[in-house]
Structure 1
Amino acid sequence: MSGTLLKVAEEYLQCSFRGIPFVVLGSSGTNGRKQAVHDYPGRDGIWVEDLGRAARSYRIVGFTVGTLCYTQRDLLSQAAEQQGAGLLMHPSIGLVQANLMRFIWREPDGRRNVVEIEMELVEKTNLLSTLIVTALHATIAVSAIALSAASSSSYQSRTATSLALGSSVITAGRNVASSWASDALVAVRSPRVQGAAVSVLDGAYGRYAGGDGSDIDSSATISSVLASLTASRATVEGAVNAFGALDSAEDIASASQSLTETLRSSVADPAAQISLLWPLASCSPAIVTSSAPIGAAIATVQSETAALCRRSALASIAQACSAWLPSSSTEAQAMTENVVALFAAEELIAADAGDDLSYQALHALRAHVAQDLLGRAAKLPDIITITRNANLPALTLAQQLYADATRADEIVGRADPIHPAFMPTEFEVLSS
């Protein structure tokens, strides 16, 4: 029985409290606000006073198994009796400093080397906002690398027979990749790139400049930013021009994946990165079907090269999403829907083609990106519509809405008025 449970334990995630590990079977928690309800004589209804966020509590059910299960039980019992908060390491909650309010253990009837445990904890300090988010972004990066490796491996194996038929087949694959790469050249020369370049500068440069998530470089100047932009454009142009000399599946795969990352790194603003990479996630060359061996091989290589290019862009889009900072829950949810739809469409193509390796990598990356974006959406304010009877100045509206006139630029950037002194009578703002 214990051997079977040991195998079962390997399928569950591990948890620990004060450094003592155990297996998690299930978890639950409570969240909310502290509310004080006040009744007053002669007044209808009640007044609810908000006293702040209530303490987060957790209930964890699990077990220890094996020859050391009783030792783990005793160590957890000692941990429960220690004074003060302890560190809870949970696979989905993250790292939490919590006080153990209740610890229950039981030995199931008729079973040896198994101890069931139950914990009730109350959070003292939540380290989730820094450590677990960083870990999730690292997971996205690892999954993006896994997608690149899977799509490269699949491309080389699925085109090996076709490419062996001659140079005309290689030329067909190279032409598809070169045509797709030319879109990157158009992207890096777009005005969006130049406008996003100033996002690293320290200061306010108007509603048409700035970024969503780019780091501020206090030493950067306009001259240095433009020089860096020129160098980045030259790098992308060189990478695009190199597609004309590709003569193997390995070279095409490497160049395609390198190009999207070169384009992403050339732009500081993650929102601009997503915008520029998005068209590259579409690649549908005109493929002529043929029953002749050479014609069929050309069609296969064209189809597989297009899939490789799309998946290269998807891997870079995922990494750009992890650095993007939405301003509202609405924006984060909309981005989640768009990204999930984009990945799901490519997953369907991979599944129909029988490319299991690429399908699994796409599915895993989509799940991690969606988890990251939805987690941030839950913590952001919503977008609401404000209506006024007159065209008021942005400073006045910022003071009325937020009691903070410094948020006038935020209102201007979202409403995009002709002049900040005459805001439209109806516009959208953040709810808080």
Structure 2
Amino acid sequence: MPCRDWLNTLWPASFRGVPFYVQHDEELPGRRLVVHEFPNRDQPFIEDLGEAARHFTVEAYLASDTADAQAAALSNAIATSGAGVLVLPTHGPLNVRALNGARSRDKDAHGYIAFRIEFVREGFGFALASVGMAASQVLAAASGLAGIAGAAFARMDVAGRPERVAVAASSTLVEAASALESVRATYPVEASASATARDAIAALADEASALVSRAGGADGSAATRLYDIASGLAAGMDATDARAAFADLVDFGVADAPVFRSATSRAAFAAAGEAARALRLAVLAAYAEALMAATFADRPSGIAARAEASERFGAEMARCTGGLDAELFVALSELRGLVCAYLTRLITDLAPVAQVEAPRAMPSLWWAWRLYGDPARCEEITARNRLPHPSFVPRTFEALVS
């Protein structure tokens, strides 16, 4: 088995875009635990208050003829308020705040300046959040992801390349437009939203060859237009339909790299992959917006939606490689965190589901009165358990705790 080439897989270290080298880094994960001890009781009670703030300690250095200027830039980055992107060799990009930094220089090591910096992983921008505030944070992050996707699309390496590199990207862009047209044609969409999306999809497909060309390179507006179309469709669709439709597209264009016979083939594959990723990012942003409009009947359905969202965002985050994807990785991570936080806040207000066991089968009408004091909820029991007839509820069934 061949050994991994570690040097080619490490991320170039930086903080707020200021590069440096790393001699040593540490991560301090942990839990916030309170130990309660009681008189005449040998076993304590351990109360878990959740994950502790995650700290990172980095021993960094700068070594060059301009080490003093680089050190000044790094000192300014450490002293700047607010969160910033820290990139570590094996961690990749992290959204953190700098707690403090110590700069050191030795008289016998000119051109070498060392730093010891402590960081803490960024948390929420607010202490307590209502469901509405959490949802607004998600929508803002989704819109921000669209802008970053546009910048990533514009970096596509097609300018000056052979024509088939640009054709590979523009053809994939047309396929992306066709995928959104399939959503529009398959699912019920409000009339005005459908008409707007239809015109935008047709225009994008017609202009694909101009948006990605050998002469002009890649136009980042193609990615933001994909987001606008997906977002408009999500707004005009039932939330359940939107979640299902966009979930089908989160793996659009994902393919294993073949064996390339030429550098041109490799470039064409990469360009097509960038165009496909533009749609996946648009779809993920719209998927997040659809979750904000969704309603959940009970706690288990909310928990399942949170797990699915985390998995789908995580899959795209895993496809981010190299320093150029650092900003995109952080944006995806932030959006995933906000979606999961929103759903977690929403879940606390949802009723849990209980398993009811009875000595004999009874009609749903009887159970609605027995459990809730409301005979009208018999239909709820019938629907939740998918009963063929409301008069025959099995001895074991599910019911909301409310």
Which category describes the TM-score, using the shorter chain as reference length?
A: 0.5 to 0.7
When residues 166 and 235 of structure 1 are mapped into structure 2, their CA distance, relative to the original with a 3 A threshold, is farther
Describe the shift of the 1:281–1:419 C-alpha distance in structure 2 as closer, same or farther (beyond 3 A). same
Residues 390 and 179 (structure 1 numbering): CA distance in 2 closer, same or farther, change over 3 Å? Answer: farther
Which structure has the higher relative contact order (CA within 8 Å, separation 6+)?
A: 2
Describe the SS at the equivalent of 2:305.
Answer: helix
Number of the residue aligned with 1:244: 205
Distance 1:91 1:303 in 2: 34
Q: One-letter code of the match for 1:279?
A: D
Whole-angstrom distance in 2 between the partners of 1:183 and 1:421? 45
Alpha-carbon distance in structure 2 between the residues aligned to 1:146 and 1:164: 30
Q: 2:388 & 2:323 partners in 1: Cα distance?
A: 52
Report deviation, 1:289.
Answer: 4.9
Cα distance in 1, alignment partners of residues 167 and 261 from structure 2? 19
The Cα of 1:388 is off from its aligned counterpart by 4.3
Listed as ranges, the matches of 1:322-341 within 5 Å are 322-341=292-311
Distance apart, 1:298 and its partner CA: 0.9
Q: 1:21-420, aligned counterparts within 5 Å?
A: 92-94=126-128, 132-157=130-155, 159=156, 161-190=157-186, 193-194=187-188, 229-245=190-206, 246=208, 247-248=210-211, 249-250=218-219, 251-267=221-237, 269-286=238-255, 288-290=258-260, 292-351=262-321, 354-388=324-358, 392-420=362-390
Q: In 1, Cα distance between the equivalents of 2:307 and 2:273? A: 26
Deviation digits for residues 175-197 of structure 1 (CA, Å, limit 9, x no counterpart): 2233233333333344xx44xxx
Residue 152 of structure 1, CA deviation: 1.0
Counterpart of 2:106?
none
Aligned-residue identity in percent: 21
Q: Which runs of 5+ in 2 are unaligned?
A: 1-31, 33-123, 212-217
Cα distance between partner residues in 2 of 1:163 and 1:423: 67
Superposed CA deviations along residues 79-128 of structure 1, whole A, max 9, x for unmatched, are xxxxxxxxxxx97554xxxxxxxxxxxxxxxxxxxxxxxxxxxxxxxxx6
Residue 147 of structure 1, CA deviation: 0.8
| Equivalent residue letter for 2:182 | V
C-alpha separation in 2, matches of 1:374 and 1:254: 29
1:167 CA drift (Å) = 4.1
Name the CA shift for 1:376/1:236 in 2 (closer, same or farther; >3 Å): same
Tell me: CA distance 1:409–1:360, structure 2 relative to 1, closer, same or farther (3 Å): same
CA distance in 1, matches of 2:345, 2:202: 40
Does the CA-based 8 Å contact 2:172-2:272 persist in structure 1?
yes
CA shift in 2, pair 1:420/1:138, >3 Å: same
Structure 2 SS opposite 1:162 = coil
Amino acid at match of 1:379: D
- Please tell me whether the aligned partners of residues 387 and 427 of structure 1 are also in contact (alpha carbons under 8 angstroms): yes
Counterpart AA for 1:137: A
Distance 1:261 1:334 in 2: 23
Cα distance in 2, alignment partners of residues 184 and 429 from structure 1: 38
Tell me the residue number matched to 1:205.
none
Q: Deviations over 1:356-379 (max 9, x none)?
A: 111010011111111111112122
Is the Cα contact below 8 Å between 1:180 and 1:280 reproduced in 2? Answer: no
Shift of 1:265: 1.7
Distance 1:289 1:258, change over 3 A: farther
The whole-number CA distance in structure 2 between the counterparts of 1:292 and 1:261 is 38
Name the CA shift for 1:91/1:312 in 2 (closer, same or farther; >3 Å). Answer: closer
Is the contact between residue 152 and residue 253 of structure 1 (CA under 8 Å) also seen in structure 2? yes
Q: Which of these two proteins has the greater Rg computed from alpha carbons?
A: 1
Counterpart residue identity of residue 148, structure 1: A
Whole-angstrom distance in 2 between the partners of 1:429 and 1:361: 39
1:339 Cα deviation after fit: 0.7
Pair 1:180–1:260, CA change in 2 (3 A): same
In structure 1, runs of 5+ residues without a counterpart are: 1-27, 29-89, 95-127, 195-227
Q: For the Cα contact (< 8 Å) 1:278–1:317, is it kept in 2?
A: yes
- Root mean square deviation, CA, Å: 2.8
Q: Which amino acid aligns with 2:180?
A: A
Give, as a single letter, the amino acid of the residue that structure 2 aligns with 1:242: A
1:152-207 CA-partner distances (Å, limit 9, x unpaired): 101112x0x324425432221122233233333333344xx44xxxxxxxxxxxxx
- The farther-off stretch of 163-172 and 395-404 is 163-172
Does the CA-based 8 Å contact 2:147-2:224 persist in structure 1?
no
